[in-house]
């Protein structure tokens, strides 16, 4: 995962909360925005082709990218370990393969 440095305190900006609090706050906010984007897609589309041709596709990419950035920042700042994150993703995939139809196409 790559390095992000935009959360450093600079002479132009000093946060009233510490780095851990910033990381948790922004990650939670971005996850909420991705949730909203997903729900908008759910209300309007039932197939990927129609979604990709809509304004909601770009919004979904934007919000998913923001969450990905924050996950990367959690790793880069030693809040979580990349190895642990990838192991957990594998556990989730195994559950989804068993209990969903996501992988059936």
64-81, pLDDT tens digit by residue?
999 999 999 999 999 999
Task: Supply 40's token pair.
Answer: 């908008």
Return the structure tokens found at 48.
């990927």
Q: Is 14 exposed, middle or buried (0-12, 13-18, 19+ CB in 10 A)?
A: exposed
Dist. CA 19–CA 9, nearest whole Å: 9
CA distance 29 to 105: 33
Average confidence (pLDDT) over 28-51: 96
Query: Residue 19 above 90 pLDDT?
Result: yes
């Amino acid at each position: 995962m790559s390095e992000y440095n935009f959360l450093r305190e600079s002479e132009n900006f000093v946060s009233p909360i510490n780095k851990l609090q910033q990381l948790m706050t922004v990650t939670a906010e971005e996850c909420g925005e991705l949730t909203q984007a997903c729900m908008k897609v759910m209300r309007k589309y039932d197939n990927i082709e129609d979604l990709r041709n809509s304004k909601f596709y770009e919004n979904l990419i934007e919000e998913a990218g923001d969450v990905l950035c924050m996950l990367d920042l959690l790793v880069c700042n030693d809040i979580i370990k990349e190895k642990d994150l990838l192991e957990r993703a594998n556990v989730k995939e195994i559950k989804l393969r068993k209990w969903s139809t996501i992988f059936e196409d």
